[in-house]
Structure formats: structure tokens, C-alpha cells
Amino acid sequence: MIVKICGITALDDALAARDAGADMLGFNFYPPSPRYVERTTCSRLVNAIRSRGFQVTLVGIFVNTPPDEVGRILDECGLDLAQLSGDEPPGDLARLSERAFKAIRPRDAGEALSQATRYGGRAAPPALLVDASAGTGQFGGTGQTGNWEAARILAARRPILLAGGLRPENVAAAVAAVQPWGVDVASGVESSPGRKEAAKMQAFVRAAHGR
């Protein structure tokens, strides 16, 4: 079970996430988010993480950013992948090729399958991130739980990351219900918006792995 801890803003949080057993770390480039990081900050964090020899996948989270700009930020910051979390058309994903995957927020199984057809063609995992459906203008990090049944149907067809309201107390149930390729958490392991809590990250990873 792959674990992605998203919304990293500080080096001590990044190191604690990796020590807890996270496989992927996310850095948010959406300015309205309380987890937003500047490019220079992200580059500094990535350099510090890489210098320690950690084998971890580093992901930039973008909302309606032009794909050429996304590619530049990936290169400048030394990130592995882009997560497109806005209202991007399929063409934006295609222009980034295997460097990006799409976050979707389906309200039901039919919508999940339709969005997977539009966005889920990436060959390597994750094919998609399945998040909770939120209000207009909200692009994740809300703490709301997603539609696990819709996610389960997709997880049987594609390697997905499951997000949306996950925390140490419910992630084991989510894994059992959905059987995703991986799980994604941000607010569920925080002490305050944008700052992570080591004990919560450790508990989350243990629960995700069924320990």
C-alpha cells in the first residue's frame, strides 16, 4: 500500500513523513491553499530531501496551471510528477505525458467511470487520484470523505490513489472497502493547516499497512 503525505511545507515535516514510511510527498503550488509553497521553498526542501538519499516520489500539486508552466516548475524544483487537481482539460494531461496524473472528484460511480475514461490513460501508477467531491472552487484538502463505492469501482480497473477525509482512524476501513493502489492524506495528519504531526503520520502509515 503506497502512502502519499500531501501539503508538505517544512523540512522537519518532510523528514518525519519519510521516517514514518511515506512513499510519496506532495508540495502544493495552489496559492489559496494553506499548504501553498513558493518555488524557491520547494526547491530547497527537495534538495534537502534528495541529499539524504531518500527513495521517495516527490509530487507537485497544481490547479489550472498551464502545462508548460507545470513542466517548468517540475524541472526547476526537481519533482518527479505533477498532480493536476483543478478543472484541467484532457489535453493538458496529454501535453505532460507520463509526468502527470489527474485528480478527480466523482459524486457517484457513473461520474467516476466517465472521468476515468477522460483522464485515466496514464500507463504507470497512479492512473488517477480519487478525491472527495467538494463545493465550487474547492480542490482538495477539505477533510471531507469521498465516495468509497465509486472509488472501489475505479480501483478494480485502474491503480488509484484514494484521498478525501482520510485519517489514522478511518484509513484501514477505506483500504478494506476500496482496495486502492495507494492512499493520500493532508489535513488528517496535521496539527494545524500546513503543519504535520509526526505521531499522526506514523499512526496513519501503520493503519494503511494494516498494522
Helix and strand totals (H; E) in the chain: 8, 10
- The angle subtended at Cα 104 by Cα 142 and Cα 129, nearest 5°, is 85
The mean pLDDT value for 175-201 works out to 97
pLDDT score at 146: 80
pLDDT score at 121: 82
Tens of pLDDT, residue by residue over 130-147, are: 998 665 454 555 567 889
Residue 173 near residue 14 (C-beta atoms within 8 A)? no
What domains does the chain contain, in order, with CATH numbers? 2-208 (3.20.20.70)
Output the nine-digit C-alpha cell for 203.
499512526
Least confident segment among 52-61, 78-87, 89-98, 125-134: 125-134
Q: Is 77 a catalytic residue?
A: no
* Whether the predicted pLDDT of 109 surpasses 90: yes
Least confident segment among 5-9, 77-81, 97-101, 135-139: 135-139
pLDDT score at 143: 62
Output the nine-digit C-alpha cell for 210.
494494516
Q: Active-site residue among 13, 92, 131, 184?
A: 131
DSSP3 helix / strand / coil % (the chain, rounded to 5): 40, 20, 40
Q: Is 6 a catalytic residue?
A: yes
The span from the CA of 46 to the CA of 63, in Å, is 20
* Whether the predicted pLDDT of 185 surpasses 50: yes
pLDDT score at 136: 46
Residue 22 near residue 2 (C-beta atoms within 8 A)? no
The mean pLDDT value for 153-159 works out to 96
The mean pLDDT value for 93-120 works out to 95
Output the nine-digit C-alpha cell for 145.
470523505
Q: Counting beta carbons within 10 angstroms of the beta carbon of residue 2, is it exposed (0 to 12), middle (13 to 18) or buried (19 or more)?
A: middle
